[in-house]
Structure 1
Amino acid sequence: MDPNKEIENNQETQELIDAYLLGKLDATALTDFNERLSIFPKFRAMVEEQRLLFKSVEEYNLKSSLDEYHSEIKDEPEKKWLSPGWLALAASFIVLIGIASWAIFNNGNSPQKVFAANFKPDPGLPTSMGTSSEYEFYYGMVNYKRKEYAEAISRWEPIYGANPENDTLVYFLGVANLANGNARQAEKYLKMANEKTESAFYEDAKYYLALSLLKEHKIEEAIETLSNSSSPANTSLLKQLKDL
């Protein structure tokens, strides 16, 4: 093994490090991996960075908002990150968003107050690091949960460009842009998400689309967006919008 050989930080190297951290290397591969660790400082730095990222993911997965999710899938087969069943569960978390009491807005109601009282970013999807084709998506979700919205958007936009029909990406790009203060771009993505009537995120997309429109002072359009929704969060927001 040439100690002067450059170690490239590419997908293959990342997947090798993942396998090491997940304990999936066989004896021969592990010996080779440890040899590389002892020789290449840059490689050791990559491993440590990946280890820290794993730790971050684990911390997010232990959050109380995901405890119920973990208990329900404990004995089920492994599911892909776009599985309709748990996407629907993740989407349902939005119903739990704390919405200020209607009475608070009886006096001095304003678009700014309604937005501030109702906007809270979607908690995001459970992240599970490993060797998969959704590697960049997972990294973006970690950024998103850290409130690093610009970084999440920069990771997700190339994936969206290659697959614009992906309702998960469209939805989270919309929410991330709204959280990042770009209501116009959020409106663009969330309007696309609002057209995907079979999506697990359909009702939640309406909620965030209405908020993005509210942020742009398009109150009548926001009201129209929520007019046929029956979700509790959307119904509450609709009442507040009609009072403006």
Structure 2
Amino acid sequence: MKYEFDISEEQLERIEKYLANQLNSEEQSHFENELKSSPELQQKMEWVKNTALGIESAVLREQLDDFHSDISTKGPQKLESKKSGIAKWYPVAAILIVALGLFWFMQPDQNLKIYNTYFEPDPGLPTTMSSNNDFDFYDGMVNYKQGDYKLAISKWEELKNSGVSTDTLLYFLGVSHLANGNHDNAIYYLKPLSEATQNSFKEDTYYYLGMAFLKADNVEDAKKYLTFSSAERAKEVLSRIETD
């Protein structure tokens, strides 16, 4: 599994204490509530846990090697018991992480680096209104252009649920989700739109759909849809994918 996040010393210390049952009841409750609402924190905890497991496994293998070696020279021996289980290895993991410089930066994979280099949201449309439906759409467009993608998505999905399903609405819903960090929802809106016969944003739909697949680490589909787009930026991204 690839991990794409930064982790601070403070965050690692909290995770370490939680896994080792060293938080008081109030701290534990607060941490668990935060954990439920933060997929990124869940990913960080999984990484710390797996790191500690790897360290424990390596130490145990070394201990077994020593044990087997001692049998041949000293007779039957007893393996050291694991008094505190995996929890005792979390501080060791923390020390190794610091030594490797992973507190402050964890290198993202190459596809994500390309995505971060080239992705920019569509600049949006001029906010002019001529009907009730237009008002609802352009009200969301104001939020979109201000960078409040979550609020724009909320307004536009409500509009879609009311029965409005224009190519413009679906396109900006897809791009908004991508700008908001959700490539799966972006693909959900942009893929059907890319196959629609009526789409005023055909070239841009291909481009952003390709970028969504790139963020999802699906290089095959990313290249497929970027190739469909005649936009210069699509060609630049394709060139980077093929050379890196």
Normalized against structure 2, the TM-score is what? 0.52
Residue matched to 2:153 = 153
User: Any residues of structure 2 matched to 1:12-161 within 5 Å, and which?
Assistant: 110-129=110-129, 132-161=132-161
Deviation per residue, 1:95-148 (Å, 9 max, x gap): xxxxxxxxxxxxx99112211111111000100256643221111000101111
Tell me the C-alpha RMSD between the 2 structures. 2.1
Query: Is 1:229 equivalent to 2:234 in the alignment?
Result: no
Distance 2:183 2:163 in 1: 23
Q: Which amino acid aligns with 2:223?
A: I
The question of whether the paired residues in 2 share the 8 Å contact of 1:170 and 1:192 is answered with: no
CA–CA distance in structure 2, aligned partners of residues 131 and 231 of structure 1: 32
* CA–CA distance in structure 2, aligned partners of residues 170 and 213 of structure 1: 17
Contact 2:174–2:188 (8 Å) recurs in 1? yes
Query: Tell me, what secondary structure is at the counterpart of 1:196?
Result: coil
Secondary structure in structure 1 of the residue aligned to 2:228: coil
- Which amino acid in 2 is paired with 1:125? L
232-241 or 185-194, larger mean C-alpha shift: 232-241
Q: Name the amino acid aligned to 2:148.
A: E
Please name the residue that 2:179 is paired with: 179
Q: Percent of aligned pairs with the same residue?
A: 42
Letter in 2 for 1:203: E
What amino acid is the match of 2:167? Answer: D
Residue segments in structure 2 that go unaligned for 5+ positions in a row: 1-107
1:196 Cα deviation from its structure 2 partner = 2.3
TM-score by length of structure 1 reads 0.52
Tell me, which stretches of 5 or more residues in structure 1 are unaligned?
Answer: 1-107
Rg larger for: 2
Deviations 1:177-203 (A, max 9, x none): 011111111111111221124412111
| CA displacement, residues 28-72 of structure 1 (integer Å, 9 cap, x when unaligned) | xxxxxxxxxxxxxxxxxxxxxxxxxxxxxxxxxxxxxxxxxxxxx
- Judge conservation of contact 2:149–2:176 (CA < 8 Å) in 1: yes
In the other structure, the counterpart of 1:65 is none
1:164 CA displacement: 5.8
Change (3 A) 1:166 1:233: same
Which residue pairs with 1:215 in the alignment? 215
User: Could you tell me which amino acid in structure 1 is paired with residue 154 of structure 2?
Assistant: S
C-alpha displacement at 1:241, in angstroms? 2.2
> Aligned equivalents of 2:229 and 2:177: distance in 1?
23
Q: How many residues of Structure 1 are paired with residues of Structure 2 in the alignment?
A: 137
1:220 Cα shift?
0.9
TM-superposition CA deviations, 1:2-30 (whole Å, max 9, x none): xxxxxxxxxxxxxxxxxxxxxxxxxxxxx
User: Could you say which residue in structure 2 is the equivalent of 1:64?
Assistant: none
Stretches (4+) displaced over 3 A? 129-133, 162-165
Matched, 1:196 2:196: yes
